[in-house]
């Protein structure tokens, strides 16, 4: 795997290293030793699939607060997404900054999201599936979020939101 640290400290775009032959290729998509060597949380306790039937589906912006903060490793397995993370660590030099990246099955990129970040995505195609690996169990009492269009962050989304849950569209403005 090739680990590319982003402008947001601790967040990485990870590319696979393909070992090709006449059959196609083989590649590692997760390795505890490699994650530890880069100082990333290697603990995996839960994997999730998010299936989204329609283009323009918004999920986010979500995070869990202490003591249930979570790291995530995200990959798009069908369709495509514009994946966004926001640094919400109060003591971080990149506090309130965001990073957006397109994830597709064909670009084989993964996004590592460390603890202390919010995460969300917008589907760019119908029938899009996203696979998450999580370092912490889902804890509803510690789950929080903010609106995808909260002016405090100025996130520039590539297209319009067509489908969004009532919860995601009713988050209040941030107050941190």
- Distance between CA atoms of 128 and 83, rounded to whole angstroms? 12
Q: Which two tokens stand for residue 60?
A: 């986010």
Determine how many CB atoms are found less than 10 A away from the CB of residue 64: 21
Per-residue pLDDT tens over the stretch 12-63: 999 999 999 999 999 999 999 999 999 999 999 999 999 999 999 999 999 9
Q: Which residues in the chain belong to E strands, given as ranges?
A: 2-5, 12-15, 19-21, 24-26, 46-52, 57-64, 72-78, 81-87, 98-103, 109-113, 117-123, 128-134, 143-145, 163-164
Q: What per-residue confidence (pLDDT) applies to 175?
A: 83
* pLDDT grade for 172, boundaries at 50, 70 and 90: confident
Going by C-beta distance under 8 Å and a sequence separation of 6 or more, which residues neighbour residue 73?
14, 30, 110, 111, 112, 113, 132, 133
Q: Where are the alpha helices (DSSP H) in 56-156?
A: none
Mean pLDDT of the chain: 96
Percent of the chain with pLDDT over 90: 97
pLDDT given for residue 81 in this prediction: 98
Q: Which residues contact 4 (CB under 8 A, 6 or more apart)?
A: 12, 13, 14, 15
pLDDT in tens, 88-128: 999 999 999 999 999 999 999 999 999 999 999 999 999 99
| Full-model pTM | 0.94
Q: What is the pLDDT of residue 164?
A: 98
Q: What is the pLDDT of residue 47?
A: 97
Nearby residues of 8 by Cβ (< 8 Å), 6 or more positions away: 85, 87, 94, 97, 98, 99, 117
- In this prediction, residues 54-76 reach a mean pLDDT of 97
Spatial neighbors of 82 by CB under 8 A, at least 6 apart, are: 100, 101, 102, 121, 122, 124, 157, 158, 159
120-144 pLDDT, tens digit each: 999 999 999 999 999 999 999 999 9
Query: What is the structure's pLDDT at 1?
Result: 95
Residues tagged active-site:
62, 132
Domains of the chain: 2-169 (2.60.120.10)
């Amino acid at each position: 795997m090739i680990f590319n640290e982003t402008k947001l400290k601790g967040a990485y775009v990870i590319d696979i290293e393909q070992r090709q032959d006449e059959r196609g290729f083989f590649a590692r998509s997760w390795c505890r030793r490699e994650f530890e060597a880069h100082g990333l949380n290697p603990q995996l306790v839960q994997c999730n699939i998010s299936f989204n039937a329609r283009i323009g589906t918004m999920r986010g912006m979500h995070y869990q607060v202490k003591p249930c903060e979570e790291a995530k490793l995200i990959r798009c397995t069908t369709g495509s997404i514009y994946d966004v993370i926001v640094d919400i660590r109060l003591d971080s030099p990149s506090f309130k900054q965001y990073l957006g990246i397109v994830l597709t099955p064909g670009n084989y990129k993964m996004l590592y999201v460390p603890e202390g970040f919010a995460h969300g995505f917008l589907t760019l195609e119908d029938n899009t599936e996203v696979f998450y690996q999580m370092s912490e169990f889902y804890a509803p009492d510690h789950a929080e979020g903010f609106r995808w269009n909260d002016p405090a962050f100025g996130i520039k989304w590539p297209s319009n939101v067509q489908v969004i849950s009532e919860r995601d569209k009713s988050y209040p403005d941030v107050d941190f």
